[in-house]
Structures are given as C-alpha cells and as structure tokens.
C-alpha cells in the first residue's frame, strides 16, 4: 500500500489539471535518479511488537522515510487486499465527480485537515506569510487533489462526507477502511 492512500494518482490528474488551466510538467521533463528507491516499511514489526520501544523503532523508520522521500510503501499492514481495493475504487469514483460536488466538501478550517482540497490549493513551504504562500501557489500550483478524512468520532473536527446520492458507498467504505487500519495497530 502506498501511503497516503487518498491522494489521487498523477496520471489521472494530468488531464483534469490541464482542463482547469493549471500548468503541468510533461512527464518527459521529469528527471530520474537511478539511485532513487521507494522506502518499503514492514509494518508487521509494529503489529507484532511486544514493547513501546519496538513500536517506536517502526514509527521512526516511517518518519525517516517521509522526511527523506515524502511517501512510503507500507507492507504487511494487515488490511485485507479486498478492503484496500475497494478504497481505491471508491477514491477513483469520488475524484471523477464534478468539481462543483467536490468543492462543496472543501476544508472549512485548515487546522481540521478534513475535506476536499482542489488542485493548486496546497503548497509545501516553511513560510507562514500568507502573501508569500499565495505567490508560491501561483508560481507552481500543486497538480493533485485530495479528500482528507480523519477519525469520524472527533468532536472538534468533523469529516466532510459526500452525499450518498453522489457517492453511495464512499463513507461506508472509508469508515471500514479506517477501522481495519486501527485494528492493526
């Protein structure tokens, strides 16, 4: 499983980003590094750990990989392949919904980290200056979109679920996925 799972794929997003007038890089211009590897983290070590120290070792491996590369392949996570496949299927269906439907689910507060994030909205920066962030977004907008979901029982920050008429199985699928992930801690 490549984490984060809810991010839509680049191949699927390039045509949509172009339709939205966003600049995209040609895949032909992306440089490659023959030494680059996707970090693979074996999560069974965490699941089978007998001590907090053993769990911390796996947690440190995950954090280190995110800091170095930005994503990981999480193996031996314990979530059934059918559950993962269904999550991808529902994610794909969600990102094919019209922009108006998805835009209604946009973040209400960035601290919540809940809801839809449209292409061009995010920008990785250390700056806290709103003007600088806006300038960087305009200079090189993010070409992906995401739907960010957290604990559904969080009293402070509620998830923003699509209406069942637009995505009938979305909420059920991701609540099940979330529960399957939690049961493997």
Contact indicator for 119, 41 with CB cutoff of 8 Å: no
- The model's pLDDT over 37-70, given as tens digits with 9 standing for 90+, comes to 899 999 999 999 999 999 999 999 999 999 988 8
State the DSSP string of 44-89.
Answer: HHHHT-SSHHHHHHHHHHHHHHHHHTS-EEEES----HHHHHHHHH
In a domain, 94, yes or no: yes
Contact indicator for 122, 142 with CB cutoff of 8 Å: yes
In a domain, 29, yes or no: no
pLDDT band at 15 (very low <50, low <70, confident <90, very high): very low
The confidence score (pLDDT) of residue 42 equals: 95
In a domain, 28, yes or no: no
Residue 26 half-sphere exposure toward CB, CA atoms < 13 A: 2
pLDDT average, residue stretch 134-158: 83
In a domain, 122, yes or no: yes
pLDDT band at 185 (very low <50, low <70, confident <90, very high): low
Contact indicator for 124, 41 with CB cutoff of 8 Å: no
In a domain, 160, yes or no: yes
In a domain, 115, yes or no: yes
Chain-centroid distance, C-alpha 70: 11
- The model's pLDDT over 92-120, given as tens digits with 9 standing for 90+, comes to 999 999 999 999 999 888 788 899 988 86
The confidence score (pLDDT) of residue 33 equals: 72
Residue 1 has pLDDT above 60, yes or no: no
Host domain of residue 175? 2-23+34-182
User: For the chain, what is the domain count?
Assistant: 1
Strand order, beta sheet including 2-3: 2-3, 72-75, 40-42
**Higher-pLDDT residue of 108, 32:** 108
Residue 12 has pLDDT above 50, yes or no: no
Contact indicator for 105, 147 with CB cutoff of 8 Å: yes
The confidence score (pLDDT) of residue 29 equals: 45
């Amino acid at each position: 499983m490549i984490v984060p799972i809810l991010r839509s794929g680049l191949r699927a997003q390039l045509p949509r980003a172009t339709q939205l007038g966003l600049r995209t890089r040609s895949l032909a211009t992306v440089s490659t590094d023959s030494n680059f590897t996707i970090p693979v983290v074996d999560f069974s070590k965490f699941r089978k750990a007998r001590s907090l120290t053993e769990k911390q070792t796996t947690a440190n491996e995950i954090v280190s990989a995110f800091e170095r590369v930005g994503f990981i392949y999480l193996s031996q996570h314990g979530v059934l392949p059918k559950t993962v496949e269904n999550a991808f299927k529902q994610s794909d269906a969600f990102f094919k919904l019209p922009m108006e439907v998805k835009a209604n689910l946009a973040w209400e507060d960035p601290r919540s980290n809940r809801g839809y994030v449209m292409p061009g909205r995010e920008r990785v920066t250390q700056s806290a200056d709103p003007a600088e962030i806006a300038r960087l977004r305009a200079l090189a907008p993010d070409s992906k979109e995401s739907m960010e979901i957290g604990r559904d029982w969080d009293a402070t920050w509620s998830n923003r679920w699509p209406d069942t008429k637009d995505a009938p199985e979305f909420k059920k699928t991701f609540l099940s996925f979330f529960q399957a992930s939690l049961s493997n801690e």
